[in-house]
Structure 1
Amino acid sequence: MADSRSDDELLKASLDDAEAFAVFYRRHAEAVLVYLRQRTGDVETAADLTADVFAGAFAGRRRYKPRREPARAWLFGIANNLLAMSRRKQRRALAARARLGVPRIEFQDEELERAEARISALTQGNPLNALVEDLPPEQREAVLARVVHERDYDEIAREQDVSEALVRQRVSRGLARISGGLREDER
Structure 2
Amino acid sequence: MHAARDPAAFEEFYRRHVDGVTRFVARRITDPHLVADLTAEVFLAMLDSADSYRPGRGSETAWLYGIARNVVSVEWRRAARESRAVGRFAGRRLLEPDDVTRLEERIDAEAAARHHREALTGLPEGERAVVELVVVDQLTVAEAAAALGIRPVAARVRLHRARKALRAATEHAELPGRPSGSETDSLSYVRGNA
Pairwise same-fold verdict (TM > 0.5): no
TM-score computed with the length of structure 2 as normaliser:
0.43
TM-score computed with the length of structure 1 as normaliser:
0.44
Higher-Rg member (1/2) = 1
